[in-house]
Amino acid sequence: MQIEVFELPPIGTNAYLLSDAERGEAILIDAPMMAWETIAPRLDGDGLKLTAVLLTHGHFDHVLGAATFNQQGVPVYAHADDREMLANLPQQMRMFGIPGEVQAPTVDHWINPEEPLNLLGRSIEVRHTPGHCPGNVTFYFADEGAAFVGDVIFAGGYGRTDLPGGDAALLRKTFFEQIFTLPEKTLLYPGHGPQTSVEQERYTNPLTSGN
């Protein structure tokens, strides 16, 4: 599986294009502004069919481009705990002072963390990882040793908890019960900034101090 990262506006959010050349398929994790315009040439050039868009959570910077994928007939997946947040995308924009009209995405599949997703010919474990917001999920690819974590954890940092639905105590619980229970060599691909690993963050992340 090939993993490509695209840092997209308006605030440098990572979108991850995961592809399997043998299958001729790809999926996208998170859909910031300009996601379709950015990856469409890559899909065409490599002869790939995009089969799904997986949203790690419903904050505006991760979903601004999702409605375009609806228009392209690509199914969108998200956790139902962020249903209201997704529906209120225009209000999110106003709260952050970002101008312009935006269309809220339509979610085709509400994720059940008890059931793995089957995409790219792989079984993808979904872990519910709230704290940054209620519906944040982590997509874990065991065979590749890769986990796409949204804004729960960053390299040397963690997602803010002062926004609606944030909960600092719950985020810390998520760290120890959902992130640090992954194998230590698992690579973590966050919503912002560079990749890191479970091993690195277990011992150096500021949220784990005192443990």
CA–CA separation, 128 vs 125, rounded Å? 10
CA–CA separation, 150 vs 126, rounded Å? 12
| Mean pLDDT of the residues in the chain | 95
Alpha helices, DSSP H only, in 96-187? 168-174
How many other C-beta atoms lie within 10 A of the C-beta of residue 204? Answer: 12
> What's 55's domain CATH number?
3.60.15.10
Lowest mean pLDDT among 19-23, 89-93, 115-119: 89-93
Cβ atoms of residues 121 and 23 within 8 Å:
yes
pLDDT of amino acid 166: 94
Q: Which residue has the higher pLDDT, 207 or 98?
A: 207
Cβ atoms of residues 198 and 188 within 8 Å:
yes
pLDDT of amino acid 57: 97
Confidence band (pLDDT; 50, 70, 90) for 211? low
The domain containing residue 190 runs over which residues?
2-208
Please state the separation of Cα 26 from the chain's center in Å. Answer: 15
Which residues lie below 8 Å from residue 54, measured CB to CB, with a gap of 6+? 27, 28, 29, 30, 77, 78, 117, 119, 139, 148
Residue 22 in this model has a pLDDT that exceeds 70: yes
Cβ atoms of residues 108 and 73 within 8 Å:
no
pLDDT of amino acid 24: 97
Q: Cis omega (within 30 of 0) on the bond before 10?
A: yes
CA–CA separation, 205 vs 76, rounded Å? 32
Indicate the number of domains in the chain: 1
Confidence band (pLDDT; 50, 70, 90) for 93? confident
Confidence band (pLDDT; 50, 70, 90) for 210? low
DSSP string, 93-109: HHHTT--S--PPPPPSE
End-to-end Cα distance, the chain: 35
